Structure 1
Amino acid sequence: MTLFSGKARAMAVLLGASALAAPVGAMAKAAPALSAREAALLARLEKLEAEVSQLRADAAATRQQQGEAVQAVATQANTATQVAQSAAQEAKATGERVAAVEKKPTPEGMRVGATNIRIGGFLKFNADYSHFDGGTVATNTLGRDFYLPQAIPVVTPTSRSSTDTDFSAKQTRIWLNLDTTVAGHTVRGYLETDFQTTASAAANVTGGGSQRTTNGYTLALRRAFVQLDKWTFGQDWTTFQNTAVLPESTDFVGATEGTVFVRQPLVRYSTPLSKAATLHVSVENPESATANAGSAALVENGTDHLPDFSARLNYMTRRGEISFAALGRQVRTEAAGAGITRAGFGGSVAGKIFLNEKRTSDLRFSATYGQNIGRYVGLNFAPDAVYVAATNSLADVRVFAALAAARIAITPTLRVNVIGSMQSADYDGSLSPTAIAAYNKKAWSGAVNLFYSPVKAIDLGIEYRHGQRELVNGQKGNIDRLEFAARYNF
């Protein structure tokens, strides 16, 4: 910058000198030749002009290089931005894929080949304190294990009340669930067992111990079926029953006299009719449980020719569910080598109404009516039909049963259940009162319980129940039971 300034000043001096010399020369009519000093100044001027031109060229080149450098930096920055954006998008996509994978529920159980196997159930302990005002109930019988209205002794002039305390773990339940897909078809297998259902559960198990020693009980089949797409083959709850409305109870059943309650072999087809409605139709194992006039004992005939037929329509909404079920069957017995039959039919409506959005509180109900369907209701409280030897015929028996229950959540871990149920049997008018005097006529019960779940898998409950049984002849018996239950669900 200093050199350039000096040259500029010199140039200015020369130009000034030239400007002064021009008029003088004109007036002097121009000298014929430049002096040595002038020639030197002119040479220096030309040199300065050349240097200025070179400086301008250098400055232009520098500016061009700087522009190219800036452009290169901008290009690099733009490329880096694009790379960063691409990396961010890839990271986001990867994160979304990982989140989607993590969001998928982890399959429970274990895999064996293409089959997913799950084991579940619960371990249950019961402690009962029972008072019967009509007499004693034999030890190691079902009436001591859970509420069974037909086992309540009725009051007689000679009967004395009894009080019993029983502890048990035989209601413990284990199930096995198998799921797989074969050639595009969904296949499911299910096996469920407990120690209460077996015929030897109430009685001492031979070789297995007794209440005096080891309290050993035999594992018994509850349910065992295979499902192929919409078909079910095996032993399951009857289609005539809606198990979803059974109340929460410390008891094995909860509302025995008021509910349909049967498990048996069947073939069932289930299909959705809409998003809310599902239809189930089935053919099921037949069995006729009749009574002979003059005796209240039930006879399991085993001479049936036709299966039982059942259908149920389930309808579910956001606020609850309701079902309508129908049953058709033939009751059959044999006498003197000849078959005697009566038609049986029934209908049942059951439902559940949710009382809050979390569905922790609800109302449950069921009502069933039918003719010659006794074994389906209340654990066979009334016979299917009555055989009258004098006329060699079967007399009809009509039953009506109902239950209602409220489940109220007090806190996330504490809840109350209030339960009521009843059943009434109506015997054909052709039967003499004396012939059916000892038959079951009515039963009802009411219960209230409190459940506490300190952790998710544990339920602790205490329940009080009062129940009554009435015979055709008017005799009655009552039970008062206080029961504690502890259950670990797995």
Structure 2
Amino acid sequence: MKHLKLAALISGAMLAMTGTAYAKTDMTFGGYIKADVMFSDYGNGAPDSGSLSRQFYVPGTIYGEKGNGKQVVDFQARESRFNFKTVTDLEGGHSLTGFIELDFMTHTDGNERVSNSYSPRIRHAFVTYDNWTIGQTWTTFQNPGALPENLDFVGAADGTPFVRQALIKYTSGNFQIALENPETTLTPNNTGGARITSGSGVVPDVIARYNFSQEGGAAYSLAAIVRQLNVEELQGTTQLDSTDVGYGVSFAGVIPVGKDDFKFTATYGEGLGRYMALNYANAGVLDSNNEIQTITSYGGFVSYRHWWSEQWRSSFTLSGFSADNDVNLTGGSVNKEAYSGYVNLLYSPSKPLTFGVEYMHALNEREDGVDGDLNRIMFSAKYVL
């Protein structure tokens, strides 16, 4: 990253425009360029070109398309990202930080026929003033520092909380508490894979997290969430109006082992839904009276990173998720379990440049016994700006 010290210039300009005295502003531009080549083998046939599963592993998207070939290759540079950050020291010892980051993943507004042009999307956009953070960033329920060093975009997707969303967060020492954007995903009564996405309700998701460490560099986090599940909408001729409460806990950590490290996350909850495994399972199901019944889920991953030398390293990762569906309510065509394993070899000839190869195997299973599997070999080149 390149740091541009513009204290005198910005202070004078801001003073002239706003009348506020700024002691110093640091401006940072960063990000990386990443190119991927993925050779994938889908057990039931590959998803169509441009599908999300062709960009990265998303549990629940690998059941396949009958009639399609099983082996496919994808080239992409869509994970490349850029960000801009400012840190300003204000009068009275206050600090103001702004951060925005964009990449090009998940969009379907481009194609691979000619230009491979994809729109940028917001990953992060937030302001921090002293202890307060307002804007879009990682959910407080997730510890991104505990994610494994995998080439896949998420890495251990089925075993980790993974959400970015708008929030208001207060931090005091090791403790954090946040009000975050609510969104409920439900399975209609006995309709299998259908999904109701409800944005109704006025109660934010409430999340608290405590970060702590031990001698030797081990770092941990313990997070808890309480959320309202709510649906108020007309489905066909049926008026839905139901509320329930979901909750969950997540424990994550990074433990140094000499130069190596061990990373893990373990999560359990009722009505977690979209917070786990990229919404592999819904938060709840509607019973015969169209009342919400929460779905229990749990998941986790373990990852060990070994440094072979100063330039060579490998990560070994196992990840899994399971949902306790009531099939009398959900039907059999809902997601039940997802597992994945990864092994990679990364080489950094210089600090900002990394080449890597990774093998991934994933298996997903529905309640009716239908399963899908994915074997993928991925080659990547990454240059950190």
TM-score, normalised to structure 1's length? 0.72
One-letter identity of the residue aligned with 2:226: G
Structure 2 residue 217 is matched with structure 1 residue 308: no
Residue 436 of structure 1 corresponds to 331
Residue 283 of structure 1 corresponds to 179
Residue 334 of structure 1 corresponds to 232
Residue 171 of structure 1 corresponds to 79
Cα distance per residue 1:11-32 (max 9 Å; x no partner)? xxxxxxxxxxxxxxxxxxxxxx
Residue 228 of structure 1 corresponds to 129
Greater share of helix: 1
CA distance in 2: counterparts of 1:468 and 1:404, whole angstroms: 17
Residue 242 of structure 1 corresponds to 143
One-letter identity of the residue aligned with 2:368: N
Q: 2:340 aligns with which of 428, 440, 445?
A: 445
Structure 2: tracts of 5 or more residues without a match: 12-23
1:79-478 equivalences in 2 (<5 Å): 108-111=3-6, 112-113=10-11, 114-153=24-63, 162-183=70-91, 184-197=93-106, 201=107, 203-205=108-110, 210-272=111-173, 278-293=174-189, 294-317=191-214, 318-335=216-233, 336-337=238-239, 339-356=241-258, 360-388=259-287, 390-428=288-326, 431-432=327-328, 435-478=330-373
- Native 8 Å contact 2:158 2:276 kept in 1: yes
Cα distance per residue 1:442-464 (max 9 Å; x no partner)? 00011100000011110111000
Q: Which has the larger radius of gyration?
A: 1
- Native 8 Å contact 2:168 2:178 kept in 1: yes
- Native 8 Å contact 1:381 1:440 kept in 2: yes
- Native 8 Å contact 2:160 2:299 kept in 1: yes
TM-aligned CA deviation for residue 305 of structure 1: 1.7
One-letter identity of the residue aligned with 1:252: F
- Native 8 Å contact 1:288 1:304 kept in 2: no
Instruction: Indicate the SS of the match to 2:300.
Output: strand
Cα distance per residue 1:212-240 (max 9 Å; x no partner)? 10000001001111111111111110000
With a CA cutoff of 8 Å and minimum separation of 6, indicate the structure with the bigger relative contact order: 2
Structure 2 residue 379 is matched with structure 1 residue 484: yes
- Native 8 Å contact 1:154 1:469 kept in 2: no
TM-aligned CA deviation for residue 419 of structure 1: 0.6
Cα distance per residue 1:290-342 (max 9 Å; x no partner)? 12121313222111220000011000233311111000000111255553111
**Which 4+ runs in 1 deviate beyond 3 A?**
158-161, 335-338
- Native 8 Å contact 1:264 1:285 kept in 2: yes
CA distance in 1: counterparts of 2:69 and 2:113, whole angstroms: 24
CA distance in 2: counterparts of 1:269 and 1:283, whole angstroms: 9
CA distance in 2: counterparts of 1:110 and 1:291, whole angstroms: 53
Structure 1: tracts of 5 or more residues without a match: 1-105, 273-277
TM-aligned CA deviation for residue 107 of structure 1: 8.8
Instruction: Indicate the SS of the match to 1:332.
Output: strand
Q: What value does the CA root-mean-square deviation take over the aligned residues?
A: 1.8
TM-aligned CA deviation for residue 386 of structure 1: 1.1
Question: How many residues matched?
Answer: 363
Cα distance per residue 1:188-225 (max 9 Å; x no partner)? 1111110114xxx2x243xxxx2110000001001111
Cα distance per residue 1:418-468 (max 9 Å; x no partner)? 01100000024xx517x4211000000111000000111101110001100
CA distance in 2: counterparts of 1:419 and 1:462, whole angstroms: 14
CA distance in 1: counterparts of 2:119 and 2:195, whole angstroms: 25
- Native 8 Å contact 1:328 1:344 kept in 2: yes
CA distance in 2: counterparts of 1:462 and 1:338, whole angstroms: 49
TM-aligned CA deviation for residue 161 of structure 1: 5.7
TM-aligned CA deviation for residue 136 of structure 1: 2.4
Greater mean alpha carbon deviation, residues 175-184 or residues 120-129:
175-184
CA distance in 1: counterparts of 2:253 and 2:195, whole angstroms: 31
Cα distance per residue 1:263-284 (max 9 Å; x no partner)? 0010111111xxxxx0111010
One-letter identity of the residue aligned with 2:104: F
Cα distance per residue 1:56-78 (max 9 Å; x no partner)? xxxxxxxxxxxxxxxxxxxxxxx
Greater share of strand: 2
One-letter identity of the residue aligned with 1:458: L
Give the 3 Å change call, closer, same or farther, for CA 299–416 of structure 1 in structure 2: same
One-letter identity of the residue aligned with 1:456: K
One-letter identity of the residue aligned with 1:332: N
TM-aligned CA deviation for residue 345 of structure 1: 0.1
Residue 11 of structure 1 corresponds to none
